[in-house]
Amino acid sequence: MATTKTLADRTASLAPVGLQPLLTQEQVEDYYGVSGWTVNQWVKRKCPVERLPNGQRRFNFQAVDAWRSEQAGEAVLATAEKSANALAARRSA
């Protein structure tokens, strides 16, 4: 009887040889609580993705997590810039 390994289990078993588990799109959706459409949008916005020889996509958890953190940082900076511009526009009016 086969047992399903969690991401933590797979990460722990691969770590000694320096490998990271690759996730399916469904696993990424489940982990982040997002839809398939959202993951597709991430890929369009350059989320790291690897292609298997059969064309299927796989995601390196650490790479995706780092990309999401970077995107969040850029969103914060963009919001701050918009706020500063709006404040400057009000002051000059």
Tally DSSP H helices, then E strands, for the chain.
4, 3
Supply the pTM of this predicted model: 0.65
Q: What rounded mean pLDDT belongs to the chain?
A: 82
Domains assigned to the chain: 19-92 (1.10.10)
Q: pLDDT at position 3, please?
A: 62
Q: pLDDT at position 47, please?
A: 95
Q: How many CB atoms lie within 10 A of CB 70?
A: 10
Confidence of residue 76 (pLDDT cuts 50, 70, 90): low
Dihedral of CA atoms 81, 87, 88, 93 in degrees, nearest 10, equals: 150
